[in-house]
Amino acid sequence: PSQLPVLNIISSHKLSAKTTRCLETLYPSNNRDTARAVGIRAKGPVAAKAITLVEIIKRRIAEKGDTWWQYNVLSTSEARPKQAVKVATLSGDSNEGEDGGEEADEDPFTPYVEKPKKQPEVPLLTIYISLARIPEFAEKCGEQT
């Protein structure tokens, strides 16, 4: 799967542009590219858009009189960790002037860095569409045609 091209789908992508891109990958104009398969990857909230895209591609392949094979892979991905937030906080309870007016040597405001919380895992759907059967995919994740 690592050598096959994979398109990531996000909510703002237009289906028509992604359909064209997938079909150009499956039917290259130079006829030298032998990939003849494309992966479509989407995180859980956008999975419906990826499925719609796959259905459009399968319909276009069938219109050309070709046979398609589909392989579905479900996995998880960690959400992007949020950046650490720096917040100025008071360090210590020292009051000025209580012990003869001496100032503390330390800056009373020190940066405090919050550790990013562990982000939940996000479901990830990858659908491979191929114009030729891929036996190793069929064994690992099943096959539709």
Concatenated DSSP letters for 82-140? PPPPEEEEE-S---TTTTTTPPPSS-SEEEEEPPPPPPPEEEEEEEEEESS--HHHHHH
Structure tokens at 76: 């998880």
Query: What is the Cα–Cα distance from 82 to 57, expressed in whole angstroms?
Result: 35
Q: Where are the domains of the chain?
A: 1-79+117-144
Per the structure block, which two tokens stand in for 7? 């398109």
Range 131-139 average pLDDT: 82
12-70 pLDDT, tens digit each: 889 999 999 999 888 888 766 556 889 999 998 899 999 999 999 999 999 999 999 99
Query: Do residues 75 and 124 touch, judged by C-beta distance below 8 A?
Result: yes
- pTM for the whole structure: 0.66
Share of the chain above pLDDT 90, in %: 33
* Whole-angstrom Cα Rg for the chain: 26
Contact 45, 33 (CB under 8 A): no
Q: 1-79+117-144 falls under which CATH superfamily?
A: Alba-like domain (3.30.110.20)
Q: Within 10 Å of residue 47's Cβ, how many Cβ atoms?
A: 17
